[in-house]
Structure 1
Amino acid sequence: MPTKEWLAEYEKKRAFTRCPNDLNAYFTLDMLAGKRLDRLSLGPVSLPTGRVLVRDPLVYLDDEEEPYFQTVPAGEYEAVACVVVPADGDCARYAAVRVCFTDAPAVRFEEALLGSEDLSAFEDGEYFGFNVDAGLACICDEAARDAFCVFAALWSDAHPEENLYDDYFAALFAENYRKHPRYQREGGDWLNWEVPGARLHMPIFQSGFGDGTYPVYFGYDGAGNLCQLAVQFIDIEMAYGEERA
């Protein structure tokens, strides 16, 4: 949990955590910056504790990874991707993925934080984000993180010469493509994975343009209640706006 000192600094800098984009537009508009947008359901995400993480599941999801200090309403919710529809030879790009916890619309988005970041030099226009090195991200609960770590350790012990993605996940992604080819490449771009032995759903999905550092935002409604989580992979207006110029 964050210290009193950290929370005091956070309140001073909180305005800097605001998302510069209206992420609602990603999930309501059909066109933005000259690009056609669509939505794609990635299935349920299980959040039994309300302590949520967004990480690269193949590189940065271990038992030392902490959830965001803000908790969300416990339950099971639908994860939905905003897709930049394929055009001009490019593949479908997942610009953002969100989870709505209530029906209330978000009126502002603020970056999700761990409560341990160094805020001393944090300025407007910056973000902390999470790192992606395997082209994938996931949304999961702290309980799913623990179950994943147990599974991954047991699998690795049983398959010491094999790779978790190539020799386990790749076949699942390919099968999901065969079942749900819409807005996926042949090898698969998303998977609603149920952690073996845990009955917890953990959506895994492509990270827009691939590896990088990406912000995660919590949406707050007009009453100040947390109502959404949104992972932003692509600033659509920045990435594609120049194409219209």
Structure 2
Amino acid sequence: MEATKEWLEKWEKVKNKLQPNSNLLDYFTLKEIAGKEIDVMDIGPCSIPTGEFLVADPLVYLVSKYEKEYFQKIPTGEFRTEVCVVKATDGDCDRYAAVRLKFNDNEVSYFEEAMKGTEDLENINEGDFFGFNVDAGLACICDKKLHELYCEFDKKWCDENPDGNTYDDYFADLFKKSYEDNPKYQRDGGDWINWTIPGTDYHLPMFQSGFGDGAYPVYLAYDKDGNVCQLIVELIDIELAYSDIDDEEEE
């Protein structure tokens, strides 16, 4: 997506306010944050053939061919999909706090929020974010090429199954199989799949979105030379979410 010159000029002035509130690198290096034990799991490759990408709810928003990519680009290739998991405690299930694609081992110098180039940049405050919307409890990182193929798959499937439901009648069995094959950090209905788009070799992982429906920010990490090092989807601000819970329990 091409952002206009006017929009880019506004963005340059406010982008430093659109920073993650937490050190997201800690999510993939520490064993505990805010008193919660965390772990990192690999859910397989994510295919990025063009470097143009979006992050979206695969059941609600990704199925629209009009859903646009971010204006920033990322490296092309196949990258491990790493998930930071807040381990289950106190009757709660395992929660996915962040998902990362790591493109290289360069030292991270700064972050930018992934943007589409159409956001309203007036009245931006420190710690604000735009994010992507989730309405079906799932998210995925998707290359432009895979987005096109996914929309074609969805249209074909719906045409062939006019009374069907894509999740109930197609994806649900795949999520259940994922749990059976990899039960660690999943509920019995399944919390992630590494889906290969039928008729292709492209991998499109789908994963639970933290606490469920809502809006979630996506950040790109850059090195000192302006090269993209990592893409991180923040699903839970661990410090904020669990410190509040602990404070309430102490009162």
Output the TM-score relative to the length of structure 2. Answer: 0.95
Q: Does 2:77 match 1:75?
A: yes
Task: Determine helix, strand or coil for the equivalent of 1:144.
Answer: helix
Task: Determine helix, strand or coil for the equivalent of 2:169.
Answer: helix
In the TM superposition, 1:190-205 aligns within 5 A as 190-205=192-207
Task: Determine helix, strand or coil for the equivalent of 2:242.
Answer: helix
Identity %: 53
Q: Which deviates more from structure 2 when the two are superposed, residues 222-231 or residues 202-211?
A: 222-231
Q: 1-side partners of 2:49 and 2:36: how far apart?
A: 37
Give the deviation of 1:120 after TM superposition.
2.1
Structure-1 residue corresponding to 2:100: 98
Structure-1 residue corresponding to 2:55: 54
Counterpart of 2:18, as a letter, is: T
Structure-2 residue corresponding to 1:120: 122
Structure-2 residue corresponding to 1:239: 241
Number of residue pairs the alignment of both structures matches? 245
**CA contact 1:2–1:115 (8 Å) conserved in 2:** yes
Q: 2-side partners of 1:83 and 1:30: how far apart?
A: 10
Counterpart of 2:97, as a letter, is: A
Q: Which deviates more from structure 2 when the two are superposed, residues 32-41 or residues 100-109?
A: 100-109
Counterpart of 1:202, as a letter, is: L
Residue of 138, 154, 157 corresponding to 1:155 = 157
Q: Does 2:42 match 1:41?
A: yes
Give the deviation of 1:2 after TM superposition.
0.4
**CA contact 1:33–1:237 (8 Å) conserved in 2:** yes
**CA contact 1:219–1:226 (8 Å) conserved in 2:** yes
Task: Determine helix, strand or coil for the equivalent of 2:220.
Answer: strand
Task: Determine helix, strand or coil for the equivalent of 1:8.
Answer: helix
RMSD of equivalent CA atoms: 1.0
**CA contact 1:112–1:218 (8 Å) conserved in 2:** yes
Give the deviation of 1:187 after TM superposition.
0.4
Q: 1-side partners of 2:154 and 2:113: how far apart?
A: 29
**CA contact 1:144–1:198 (8 Å) conserved in 2:** no
Q: 2-side partners of 1:105 and 1:85: how far apart?
A: 28
Q: 2-side partners of 1:216 and 1:105: how far apart?
A: 19
Residue of 183, 189, 192 corresponding to 2:191 = 189
Task: Determine helix, strand or coil for the equivalent of 2:12.
Answer: helix
Output the TM-score relative to the length of structure 1. Answer: 0.97
Give the deviation of 1:32 after TM superposition.
0.5
Gaps of 5+ in 2: none
Deviations along 1:210-238, one digit per CA (max 9) or x if unpaired, are 00000000011233321110000100000
Q: 1-side partners of 2:93 and 2:82: how far apart?
A: 18
Deviations along 1:131-176, one digit per CA (max 9) or x if unpaired, are 0000000111000000000000000000000100000000000001
Counterpart of 1:228, as a letter, is: Q
Q: 2-side partners of 1:79 and 1:93: how far apart?
A: 16
Q: 2-side partners of 1:8 and 1:109: how far apart?
A: 18
Structure-1 residue corresponding to 2:66: 64
Q: Which deviates more from structure 2 when the two are superposed, residues 48-57 or residues 217-226?
A: 217-226
Counterpart of 1:210, as a letter, is: G
Counterpart of 2:172, as a letter, is: A
Counterpart of 2:12, as a letter, is: E
Gaps of 5+ in 1: none
**CA contact 1:156–1:164 (8 Å) conserved in 2:** yes
Give the deviation of 1:14 after TM superposition.
1.4
Give the deviation of 1:124 after TM superposition.
1.9
Structure-2 residue corresponding to 1:217: 219
Runs of 4+ in structure 1 displaced over 6 angstroms?
Answer: none
Give the deviation of 1:244 after TM superposition.
4.0
